[in-house]
Amino acid sequence: MSTLVPPPTKRQKTEIAEKARLQQEIESIPDNLGSVRVQFFDQATGSATGPAVSVPVADANVKNLETLLNTLQGNEDDERVPYRFTYQSQDKDNQAIDILADLYHSLLQPGLRTTEDTISLYFTPQAVFRVKAVSRCAASIAGHGEAILATAFSPVSSSTMVTGSGDSTARVWDCDTGTPLHTLKGHTSWVLAVAYSPNGAIIATGSMDNSVRLWDAKKGQSLGGPLKGHAKWITSLAWEPYHAQETGRPRLASASKDSTVRVWDVVSKRIDIVLSGHKGSVTCVRWGGMGKIYTASHDKTIKVWDAKQGTLIQTLQAHAHRVNHLALSTDFVLRTAYHDHTKKVPEADADKVTAARKRFEQAATVNNKIVERLVSASDDFTMYLWEPESSNKPVARLLGHQKEVNHVTFSPDMAYIASAGFDNHVKLWNGRDGK
């Protein structure tokens, strides 16, 4: 009996179609366009890298541009860095255009530039490690007795994760083996929020029992009694960025259904500041890298607070319904502090602070200016992109969801925004302009 070859899977069909499309684009580039002059600029500093270089239009694809830039930088083969290229349009809207495949299809064919122009390309480094596409479930980790309500990865390594559950416990997991490391018992009701400290040493949990608890991340042991002060349940937690902390005095912000946010001195277990001003439940709190705390509420507003004084700086108003979630463009570097892909941890505390500050500034710097963008998700089916440091007006309105938007996050490189809604869709957006 002959063996029947199985038909191609849906994924294989998609890959074949994509390869055919790319090949067609390459073949569609005219051979008589000659060359175009290209000059590279660092997106963070705005400074030029090398002189303008003449590149054949037929060869001006992203891979070749990446090779050319690494050559201009003097990088050896084992030091090659993958880059993303964008072109800043000269129109009134000053739109940033991503070079997806090559210069011809992105700039020359649409008529944005000609072969007689010198094209200025701004580059940003991509991840130096490769990530496999998510195609199917890799593992299922069982252990909780009720629904899982919150999750957080350790800033030290994604091999460790903490989850909060409706069974009144939190669990620390080894993601490589799929086994539990510790069970954190102490809360008397649902655990609604979990958060690792930036150095990875402490886990904070917030519960329906109106309290916050602190745990030793390695041993899984409780660090004293509960932090009590809220009149209703805890909805969100945010740690003070490592580079902004006073030495030996980390702080934690907790948001609550009681319309307040409390900032705790983790060492003394006392309330440092109470942020009151919202007229509804505070759904989310974020602690920025420039001394600001951002809070979202059911009262349809987002408030920006001074993290040291606890005073209100401004109120951001645009949403027509309650605001469910917030995300900062710098969330990743603030969460991981001095931990990076090299896994080289500075020994001295001062060096750790310096490394954390350097990572934050490098990630947030655009044209020699630190820019921290904020995105908000709401029950009005929309999201708004903000730059609170420069204006209290939104940069963009993100439309597309057909129901309430309940979660939003930036990619680690800040290039994309992902949003999830009750319309059962996850949508991706441009992290710079929200398109």
Residue 329 has pLDDT above 60, yes or no: yes
Residue 302 has pLDDT above 90, yes or no: yes
Averaged pLDDT, 149-173: 95
Q: How far apart are CA 144 and CA 154, in angstroms?
A: 19
Q: How far apart are CA 216 and CA 208, in angstroms?
A: 21
Task: Report pLDDT for 321.
Answer: 96
The architecture in CATH of the region 288-430 reads 7 Propeller (2.130)
Averaged pLDDT, 8-37: 73
Averaged pLDDT, 106-118: 86
Question: Residue 343 region, left (φ>0) first, then alpha (ψ -120 to 50), else beta?
Answer: left
- State phi, psi for 353 to the nearest 5 degrees: -65, -45
Residue 11 has pLDDT above 80, yes or no: no
pLDDT tens digit string along 77-99?
777 888 889 888 766 556 778 88
CB-based contacts of 337, cutoff 8 Å, min separation 6: 155, 198, 199, 241, 242, 243, 352, 355, 356, 359
What's the whole-model pTM score?
0.81
For residue 105, what pLDDT band results from cuts at 50, 70 and 90?
A: confident
Residue 345 has pLDDT above 60, yes or no: yes
- Compute the mean pLDDT over every residue in the chain, rounded to the nearest whole number: 89
More confident position, 138 or 64: 64
Report yes or no: 89 and 97 within 8 Å, Cβ to Cβ: yes
- 321 in helix, strand or coil? coil
Percent of the chain with pLDDT over 90: 60
For residue 199, what pLDDT band results from cuts at 50, 70 and 90?
A: very high
**251-to-210, 221, 238, 314 alpha-carbon distances in Å:** 18, 19, 9, 22
pLDDT tens digit string along 355-382?
999 999 988 887 778 889 999 999 999 9
Task: Report pLDDT for 102.
Answer: 87
Task: Return the percent helix, strand and coil in the chain, to nearest 5.
Answer: 15, 40, 45
Tokens of 316: 């951001």
Domains of the chain by residue range: 34-125, 288-430
For residue 132, what pLDDT band results from cuts at 50, 70 and 90?
A: low
pLDDT tens digit string along 241-253?
999 999 889 999 9
Task: Report pLDDT for 434.
Answer: 83
For tokens 């995300």, the residue is: 327
- 364 in helix, strand or coil? helix
| CATH class of the domain at 34-125 | alpha beta
Residue 3 has pLDDT above 70, yes or no: no
Task: Report pLDDT for 131.
Answer: 63
Residue 275 has pLDDT above 70, yes or no: yes
Other CB atoms closer than 10 Å to residue 55's CB: what's the count?
18
Task: Report pLDDT for 34.
Answer: 84
Residue 301 has pLDDT above 90, yes or no: yes
Task: Report pLDDT for 161.
Answer: 96
Largest Cα span, the chain: 80
- Identify which of 382, 386, 384 has the alpha carbon closest to the alpha carbon of residue 423: 382
**380-to-325, 384, 388, 402, 406 alpha-carbon distances in Å:** 12, 11, 21, 9, 10
